[in-house]
Amino acid sequence: MAALPVVTYGESILRKVVEPVEDFEAIEDLVPNMFDTMYEEEGIGLAANQIGVDLNVMVIDISHADENCPPSTFVNGQIIERSGSESMEEGCLSVPGVRVDVTRSEKVTFAYQDLKGNHHEAKFDGLMATVIQHEMDHLNGLLIIDHASQLDKHRIRKQLKELAS
């Protein structure tokens, strides 16, 4: 297991809707590396395309904030219901140094598969719902900057130019 380089703003894979996982054996080695990368970068979530892998896989660990939420892996995830609204300042490993206020649903119902391909559906709220939405954005080719207000976009324009060069 090893930490992998994180793909940053300006790389085309971050703007692509990723492919679904069909071969679950093929991701057995990927997931531990994703966790290593996330921990190395001090993140709480990581989508596969953030390490250059074109697959619908995400890992999340918010156990530091909620001991009832163990480290989790979600494959072929899809948000099927949303409710409520809350804003939170978010950062992103693929857009280092940039923080923006993002409004997201307070609660989500999420359908996904586990590492064995079994199907699940669960309701999430709070920080877990926020992180799921953030990582699903990645897997759908969106970044936190796409949620930024015009004022925030103006404020971070210089940082984005430096990241893209």
Query: Cβ atoms within 10 A of the Cβ of 83, count?
Result: 12
- E-assigned strand segments in 54-149: 57-60, 72-83, 86-91, 99-104, 107-113, 119-125
Tokens in use for 108?
């989500």
Exactly one of 28, 41, 89, 135 is catalytic; name it.
135
89 given a catalytic annotation:
no
In the block, tokens 């950062």 appear at 91
- Beta pairing, strands 119-125 & 86-91: unpaired
Query: Cβ atoms within 10 A of the Cβ of 84, count?
Result: 11
Tokens in use for 56?
């619908």
Could you tell me the CA-to-CA distances from 22 to 55, 67, 113 in Å, in that order? 9, 32, 11
Using DSSP's 3-state secondary structure scheme, residue 132 falls into helix
Residues labelled as active-site residues? 135
